[in-house]
Structure 1
Amino acid sequence: MEKWFGLDSKFYKFGTLIGDLIILTLLWTICCLPIVTIGASTTALYYVTTRQLSDREGYVSKDFFKSFKQNFVEATVVTILIGIIGVILYINIYLFNPNTTINIILYLIQFVILYQLIIFTIYVFPILSRFDLKLGALIKTTIFMANRHLLTTISCAVLLVATFFITFEYRIAVILCAGVYGILTSLMFMKLFRKYVPDMDKDSPENRG
């Protein structure tokens, strides 16, 4: 029995992980409600999941709110910028009339920008959760990584679509969706980040611990 239900058993660790992901999903959902705080909430979610993958001890709620407070301003600015650009693109695409060659080209450019905005959104908050970067450097780093590592980008996008689909089909999944997506994509992001910062799991001024 000790083998299956002891504190060091896989069953106990799995149960603890599920419990942490439920708490994390709840915190993320509540903190996203003001809408403008979605970025700060997502950054905090990734801070928790990447710490878990680095085998760092901590408490989900404590670590979540530590990151939420620490990255609030920068994450909120990024969220607002994404929102503004997204609205402009939506209006342009909706109202655009591709009736000439030049208009068709301009119309297609809107979709290229939209694609860049989507992959930027996928990467920016995980990067912000792990690195202490100024806004300009954050934007440059995000665009670079999102376009260079296309396999990771596509995998994260597919996971995101799958998460929405599963949550829509099985409403009970809402209690785990954000946490599970966060931990699965964090596996990919941490592997990617370690290519640039081998001591990713150690504390440093550039690496958020």
Structure 2
Amino acid sequence: MGNIFSTDGFLWRAMRDLTSLIIINIITIICSIPIVTAGAAAASMHYVLYQMIEDKEGHIVRSYMKQFKGNLKSATPIWLIMLLGTGILFFEYSTFKNADGAGRAVIMFVYAGFLFLAMLSVWLFPLTAKFVYPTYAYFRNAFILCITRLLRTVAMVVIMSVIPFILTHDLRLAPLAVLIGISLPSYFCALIYHPVLDQMIKQMRERKEEDDPEDKV
């Protein structure tokens, strides 16, 4: 029983992680209020979640804000492209939702477009959090991961759809949506994508050591 309540026990770790998720969620909401900065906020959130999984999160607010400033340049173009794509799909949906015949075929393409953007998004911002690429390379690599890690992709899309839906469609759960509505499903996704990104990071380090053998420790 003593081990449960010790600083190394399950209960203590669970409460610590829950507190961290609440802090991360609130910061992410605040940093997303100017809609244009939501991409940087998402990338910063995933960086801190990644650190949490590796038990390296340190000072959450300081780490988050440091990443947020750095992610504004890399994540904002990605976010704006995704926002534009989503806006176009919503426009097409509102135009053809009551149409017959060919209009219904358009709606099917719109649904497929939404699914495609959702699949991209679960990889885009974690990649932005951990890697430095040109903007096009983030989309290319996210697309590759969508295909090569399809089961993980589907699982993350389901998580990012179901949990927020549940929390936002019952007024009794509204406080939970404010506290953990973004960070909790993102944390579950981080548990799924962490092994993949960790492997990518190790491969990059190995290639760098092969290119610069004098830098090996």
TM-score, normalised via structure 2 length:
0.81
> How large is the Cα RMSD of the aligned pairs?
2.5
Assess if the C-alpha contact under 8 Å between 1:98 and 1:107 holds in 2.
Answer: no
Letter of the 1:27 counterpart: I
Query: In structure 1, what is the equivalent of residue 193 of structure 2?
Result: 189
Alpha-carbon distance in structure 2 between the residues aligned to 1:159 and 1:121: 13
Structure 1 residue 11: deviation in Å? 2.3
Assess if the C-alpha contact under 8 Å between 1:167 and 1:177 holds in 2.
Answer: yes
Query: In structure 1, what is the equivalent of residue 64 of structure 2?
Result: 64
Query: In structure 2, what is the equivalent of residue 33 of structure 1?
Result: 33
Alpha-carbon distance in structure 2 between the residues aligned to 1:143 and 1:37: 23
Letter of the 2:188 counterpart: L
Q: Does 1:171 align with 2:174?
A: yes
Structure 1 residue 104: deviation in Å? 6.2
Query: In structure 1, what is the equivalent of residue 9 of structure 2?
Result: 9
Query: In structure 1, what is the equivalent of residue 211 of structure 2?
Result: none
- For 1:35-54, list aligned pairs within 5 A: 35-54=35-54
Query: In structure 2, what is the equivalent of residue 207 of structure 1?
Result: none
Aligned-partner SS, 1:15: helix
- C-alpha offsets along residues 145-171 of structure 1, whole Å, 9 cap, x if unaligned? 122222111111111122123312212
- For 1:1-209, list aligned pairs within 5 A: 3-96=3-96, 99-100=101-102, 108-168=108-168, 169=170, 170-174=173-177, 175-198=179-202
Alpha-carbon distance in structure 2 between the residues aligned to 1:180 and 1:149: 22
Structure 1 residue 74: deviation in Å? 1.8
Aligned-partner SS, 1:56: coil
What is the number of residues matched between the two proteins? 201
Unaligned runs of 5+ in 2: 209-217
- C-alpha offsets along residues 53-80 of structure 1, whole Å, 9 cap, x if unaligned? 1222511101111111111122111111
Assess if the C-alpha contact under 8 Å between 1:38 and 1:79 holds in 2.
Answer: yes
Alpha-carbon distance in structure 2 between the residues aligned to 1:199 and 1:59: 28
Assess if the C-alpha contact under 8 Å between 2:164 and 2:182 holds in 1.
Answer: no
Are residues 199 and 8 of structure 1, via their aligned partners in 2, closer, same or farther at CA, if it must alter by over 3 Å? farther
Bigger shift: 24-33 or 186-195?
A: 186-195
Q: Which has the higher contact order (CA 8 A, sep 6+)?
A: 1
Assess if the C-alpha contact under 8 Å between 1:25 and 1:177 holds in 2.
Answer: yes
Greater helix share, 1 or 2? 2
Bigger shift: 32-41 or 83-92?
A: 83-92
Alpha-carbon distance in structure 1 between the residues aligned to 2:21 and 2:144: 30
Are residues 104 and 163 of structure 1, via their aligned partners in 2, closer, same or farther at CA, if it must alter by over 3 Å? closer
Unaligned runs of 5+ in 1: 205-209
